Structure formats: C-alpha cells, structure tokens
Structure 1
Amino acid sequence: NAEESAKWVESHAYGSIILVTNNYHMPRSLLEMGRLLHGARLEPYPVVNTKLGNGSWLTKPEALRVLLTEYSKYVLALARGVVPLRPSPEGVTIAEASVVKN
C-alpha cells in the first residue's frame, strides 16, 4: 500500500499529505511513507479504534498478537532502511557491499 500510495502522491505532485491510519500502525506507516516519498511532507492523523488506556488489553491474547505483529513489522521496516536491497529476477535480494581497495 505504501509503494502504491507514494507513486500516486508523486505522480500528482502533492507537497504534503495527511496520513490516516490506526494509531498503532502510525509509526511504521510514517517510516515507510517517509522512505518512499521524495519531498512531500507527511501530516499524521492517527485514528483510535480501541481505547487501550485501562490496560485490559493485556489480558486479551488477540490484542497482544496484533501489537506484537505490528512491532515486528516496525522492526523489519527499520531494518529495510539500513540493509541495502536490490531487485532481481527472483524478487528482492540483499545488495552486495562494494569494497574499496587502497
């Protein structure tokens, strides 16, 4: 979704966009869109579907699964910004580092 959205934003030359998503998706969404957009300013607008403030979500396995899954996706998105990737016929592979010899 982020790649398709970024292409659309850039093809329409928007200078800023409002990024609307669930509040627990926002950190990863900002990271992914920021990596893909070149020049457009992001305005986050997090939506709260479930109030988590009272801590009752800690007793719900489904809520924990969703939050742990989202955290894992966020860590992978961080790694994607650090590890160089390149397209290949088989998909995406890790780019080889070049060695500079003195």
Structure 2
Amino acid sequence: MTQGIGIFRALAFVILAASLIGFAAYAGLVSSYALPDEDLSADGIVVLTGDQGRLTAGARLLQDGRSAHLLISGVHASVTTEQLRAHTTLSNEQFTCCVELGRQASDTVGNARETAQWVRTNGYRRLIIVTSDYHLPRSLIEMDMAMPDVEFIAYPVRTTPPWRNPRSARLWLQEYAKYATVRLGRILLPSQDTAS
C-alpha cells in the first residue's frame, strides 16, 4: 500500500513538473511574437473574433495598406454588419469594398476551415493572422494544418500577462491546455485534424 502511494505521488509530481515546464515554454512562445515590420504586406488579413482589440488591429492593418482584403472569421449570427463596422472604425466605403464576414466558424478549427475556403476562392498565398497573443500558438497550428502551402504572419494583440491578473491567468491556462492537446495531436496524428 505504501509503495503504491509513493508511486502515485511520484507520478503526480512528474505530471505537475511537466505541466509547469510546458506552460513556461508556452508563455515564452507567446511573449516572443513581435509586431511585423511596417513595410510588410500580404494577400489578406484574417481577424479571429474574440477579445477586444482584434478588430481594431485588423482594421488598422487594412488602413495602413498591409493588404487590400480583410476576413473577419467567426462572426456571430446575432452581430450585424453595422455593429462590426462601428467596432473597426472603417468607413462604409472601406468596409464594403475590402471586408468579408465569415459567419460559419464557432471555434479555432472552424476559423482555420473558414479561412482555408477564403484562400481557395481567392488564390491567396500569404496571410496576416490577427488574434490575441495567447491564442496565436494554437491558431497558427490549426491554420497550418488547414493550409500547409500558405505563409502565415503572426500579428499579436497584446493581453495582460497571467502573472499580473488572475483572470488572465485563467484564460492563459485554459488556452495552454487546448494548445498542448492540439500540439500533441499533431505529433501523434500529423495528417488528421484535432478538435478545438
């Protein structure tokens, strides 16, 4: 009985240590994403809906001429086009000519599939992916799995680090668990999609 408890404790310690090391590596990866150079351009900009700041960042990239095409992926059915336009601060003309709304995606896997369809329709080869910094690692994996021949440029929307805010810590830990699952799935099943 005592030996069994000792083995269980040792196993629990190994799992905890591995999780802490993994999270530290994940946090380092998130922190390593830098904003692209000012002269960088792409065929399209993709904004993944979610945290505040993503739409503003995507609209700014469009206004700065980084691309003439913007996809907002994962738009909820209850959100109107006018509500979205107001959040982007784009003019009616800019929004009408250059922004496409994707309403099919409900998770990160769906974002990747929705983006892949947009890419196939338009023949794009280089995309700027705009999402929260902590969401970028998993988003880029899913995008690469859906579109292995497309180049992705990470554009991080900065969030509060987990060591400064308990709410951020919860978000980052939840996202790390999803990221670790997707990453492990890609290692074990590289030719298959992993669930979000």
TM-score by length of 2: 0.38
Partner in structure 2 of residue 56 of structure 1: 164
Which structure shows the bigger proportion of residues in helix conformation? 2
Gaps of 5+ in 2: 1-110
CA distance in 2: counterparts of 1:19 and 1:56, whole angstroms:
26
1:65 Cα deviation from its structure 2 partner: 1.6
SS at match of 1:25: helix
1:26 to 136, 140, 143: 136
CA, structure 1 residues 69+8, in 2 after alignment: closer, same or farther (shift >3 Å)? Answer: same
Partner in structure 1 of residue 148 of structure 2: 38
Which structure shows the bigger proportion of residues in strand conformation? 1
Trace 1:1-102 onto structure 2 (pairs within 5 A).
1-48=111-158, 50-52=159-161, 55-57=163-165, 60=166, 62-84=167-189
State the superposition RMSD in angstroms.
2.4
Residue identity (%): 34
Residues 29-51 of structure 1 show CA distances to partners (whole Å, capped at 9, x for unaligned) of 11110111031110111111x33
* 2:160–2:168 Cα contact (<8 Å) kept: no
SS at match of 1:56: coil
Q: Runs in 1 of length 4+ with deviation above 4 angstroms?
A: none
CA, structure 1 residues 39+83, in 2 after alignment: closer, same or farther (shift >3 Å)? Answer: same
Tell me the matched-pair count: 83
SS at match of 1:28: helix
CA distance in 1: counterparts of 2:192 and 2:145, whole angstroms:
15
Gaps of 5+ in 1: 93-102
CA distance in 2: counterparts of 1:79 and 1:67, whole angstroms:
18
